[in-house]
Amino acid sequence: MPAAEPLVGGWRLLHTGDAPLGVPAHVTLLVPWVPPSELTPEVEDRLARLVAEEPAFDVVFPRAARWPEILYVEPEPSEPFVRLTHALAAEWPEHPPYEGQHETVVPHLTVAKSGDAGLLDRIAAELEPALPVRQRVSEAQLYEEDEGGRWRERRRFRLG
């Protein structure tokens, strides 16, 4: 979500585990997924076909929300993200959303993770006046983790 990066990128670098490792602001579709050693051209072609079935769409992030230790912004509409996640999980049932730990898919863009509720409240208070963030979603990106724990973009897949 490049449109959100200027707003949330600094907090993500300080208060998430993935941003310092190269992961930009994003709404996760499915992780973990196929290991890099198993990402064959055939797997990537299946992914490309599946992603192309979802039309491009406009999304807005109008507000911040919280779980006990996570501050995030909610995408509206959330349904395209849910459909893509379910489609990926149906195609690769050995990789269920959230490793099968949660029944419901809740699309979100994580801003900060912390056990300090006061910190999350302060970040939310600074974040809220700058919302909403709007973006056209016309592609999905595939990221892979290298042996050193860094993440890099491997490929982009067009929606619609």
Task: Yes or no: say if 111 and 127 are a contact pair by the CB < 8 Å rule.
Answer: yes
Measuring CA to CA, how many Å separate 156 from each of 7, 67, 91, 137? 23, 30, 18, 12
Task: Pick the more confident residue, 102 or 156.
Answer: 156
Say if 95 falls within a structural domain. Answer: yes
Q: Does residue 158 belong to any structural domain of this protein? A: no
Report if residue 154 sits inside a domain. no
Which segments within the chain are labelled E, that is strand?
57-61, 64-67, 70-73, 109-113, 133-137, 139-145, 151-158
**Model pLDDT, residue 83:** 97
Largest pairwise CA distance in the chain? 47
Please give the pLDDT value at position 115.
Answer: 96
Q: What is the CATH number of the domain that holds 116?
A: 3.90.1140.10
Distances (CA, A) of 30 to 9, 90, 105: 21, 11, 10
Number of domains in the chain: 1
Q: Over 90: is that where the pLDDT of 155 sits?
A: yes
pTM here? Answer: 0.93
Q: Is residue 148 part of a domain?
A: no
Position 152 in a domain: no
Q: Report if residue 80 sits inside a domain.
A: yes
2, 24 Cβ separation under 8 angstroms: yes
pLDDT band at 43 (very low <50, low <70, confident <90, very high): very high
Per-residue confidence (pLDDT) for residue 98, from 0 to 100: 84
For the chain, the average pLDDT equals 95
Work out the end-to-end distance of the chain between its first and last CA atoms, rounded to an integer number of angstroms: 18
Residue of higher predicted confidence among 36 and 22: 22
Q: Is residue 30 part of a domain?
A: yes
In a domain, 120, yes or no: yes
Domain around 17 = 5-141
